[in-house]
Amino acid sequence: MIIIRVGIFQVLGNFEYENVRYIIEDKAYSHSFSAIAIKEWLLDSGIKADVFMLIPESLAESIGEDPAHLIENREEFEKAAKEKTGVDAEFRIIPSVGKYNRLEFAGSAENTAIDIFRVACNEELDVVIGDVSTGLNIYSVILVEALRRYATYKKLEDLLQQSRDFEMKLAFIPPILRKRKEAEIEEVNVEMQNVNVKAIFDTPETNVSRLCTRGTDNREINTNFGGKLKILKDIVGNVKIAVNAVKMNTPLAFYHKEVINFDYDVEGAERTLWDVIDFALKPRFDGSNKIWRLLLHGNNVFNTFFSIAMAKSFQEFVKTLPEVAEAEELIRVFSDLYEKVGVEANVRFLQRDIDGLRENVPDGFRGCYAECFDGSGGSKDEKRNFFAHSGFLREITIVERQGDKIFVRWDENSLKKVRNWLKDPK
């Protein structure tokens, strides 16, 4: 039985919200928070969901006389926020941006987006609903962006398999008017829209050495995590080569670990990235009312996560392959793969070159593909001909025919050269 995990996210702008009657598909739910109303509506449909109330840390001043202590102790802050609202939900503190009353938060929108992204990742959600009915300021915009990036991450994680569904929705309500009489409860309709996030099959451009925007921050990160970041860099590099191998129609690359290698602890590398983020987002105090953190580089951080997601998908794909490629199996497996990632045109070229193997390799032959020809037609431009013929460059391709089966691999002495070609196919 497949369990679908649903998460509803709502940002609070304060701790005092009046009761409202929320109408969802002609059903009424009275509550202070629309996220709870959505949870109850889903439960009426037999769907369980968790609500995540996101609390900007600037609200610490509304709870106690020592906001700095609460900001440093998130669990205590979350517990206090839950007691303040009396709501049955999960509470998560998120970094604030800007100046609020006595406190100044020297953060960034990207820091906050990454922290919200972390909540969704930790919960491994299959459906996310962003409720933007409260906190209508920078945080609601950040929430939408963070959930979009989580949706991209989840789709890339399953890109080559496409074995599971993922949904993202946004929930809206019209402005709530002040109640005209003390006994009146405002009634509003909740509108929900599907958000279609496409995961494009391309190399996420990132620089693992620049996970922060400032040079001083990067030096601090590299000093503390430099050795562990090397594995992340290796994974990112292999994802780039794997994407190029698919786009350029060179399927044999996936049968040679010297060319593409996903024998890494990808989950462990991802934990390292989270350790870096924990380190960067730890609040620091300069003795005044200013709270600051390292400033994370949003594009590099998220694209590194996207590379990790793609590495997971490639890793699962490679596990399904036999040790040695067989021509007919190449057509079957990679036709399916090419269609899934939107490079269907490659199927025709791969079929053409597989047909060439069938035509030119005699039964019982075992050796270099070039030996199947009369010595003419050698490659003047090896790299160009390599990509022009699905990677079956005669001089480096080793073939063995056993009846209808043709086994194909590259000569071991050529693998370093092939890897370099795939790093930069141009």
**pLDDT, tens digit (0-9, with 9 covering 90-100), for 247-300:** 999 999 999 999 999 999 999 999 999 999 999 999 998 777 899 999 999 999
Look at residue 379 in the predicted model and tell me its pLDDT.
Answer: 65
In terms of Cα–Cα distance, which of 114, 77, 57 is closest to 285?
57
* Domain ranges, ordered by start, for the chain: 1-199, 200-321, 322-411
Mean pLDDT, residues 187-201 taken together = 92
Distance separating alpha carbons of residues 49 and 36, to the nearest angstrom: 10
Task: Please give the C-alpha separations between residue 262 and each of 80, 95, 267, in angstroms, as whole numbers.
Answer: 44, 35, 12
Angstrom CA distances, 379 to 162, 370, 385, 386, 425, stand at 39, 10, 7, 9, 17
CA pair distance 271, 7, nearest whole angstrom: 22
Measure the CA–CA gap between 61 and 66, rounded to whole angstroms: 7
pLDDT of residue 376: 61
**One-letter amino acid identity for 336?**
D
- Rg over CA atoms, the chain: 27
pTM here is 0.94
Run of H or E residues at 399 = strand 397-402
Q: Which segment of 89-98, 117-126, 168-177 scores lowest on mean pLDDT?
A: 168-177
User: Is it true that domain 1-199 has CATH number 3.40.50.10640?
Assistant: yes
- Residues of the chain above pLDDT 70, percent: 96
Please state, in angstroms and rounded to a whole number, the distance separating the CA atoms of residues 276 and 301.
10
Confidence of residue 89 (pLDDT cuts 50, 70, 90): very high
Q: Please provide residue 234's backbone torsions phi and psi, each rounded to the nearest 5 degrees.
A: -65, -40
Instruction: Give me the chain's average pLDDT, please.
Output: 93
**What are residue 284's DSSP bridge partners?**
292
Q: Which pLDDT score, from 0 to 100, does residue 17 have?
A: 86
**Which range among 14-23, 153-162, 234-243, 369-378 shows the weakest confidence by mean pLDDT?**
369-378
**What is the predicted pLDDT for the residue at 378?**
61
Q: Specify the range with the lowest mean pLDDT, choosing from 97-111, 210-224, 311-325.
A: 97-111
Q: Are the CB atoms for 272 and 231 separated by under 8 Å? A: yes
Q: Give the closest residue to 282 by CA, choosing from 61, 131, 57.
A: 57
Q: Which helix (H) or strand (E) holds 96?
A: none
CATH code for the domain defined by 322-411: 1.10.3740.10
Q: What is the pLDDT of residues 286-309, one digit of tens each?
A: 777 899 999 999 999 999 999 999
Helix axis angle, 215-247 to 327-341, nearest 10°: 130
pLDDT score, position 374: 80
Number of CB atoms found within 10 A of residue 105's CB = 23
Residue 351 in tokens? 């079929």
Tokens found for residue 278: 């924990």
At 68, is the pLDDT very low, low, confident or very high (cuts 50, 70, 90)? Answer: confident
Q: What is the mean pLDDT of residues 328-345?
A: 96
Q: What is the mean pLDDT of residues 7-13?
A: 95
Q: What is the pLDDT of residue 177?
A: 64
pLDDT, residue 426, reads 87
* pLDDT at residue 285, as a whole number: 87
C-alpha 48/C-alpha 142 separation (Å) is 25
Percent of the chain, pLDDT > 90?
A: 81
In tens, the pLDDT along 136-193 reads 679 999 999 999 999 999 999 999 998 888 999 999 988 776 555 555 678 899 999 9
Q: Is the pLDDT of residue 227 over 90?
A: no
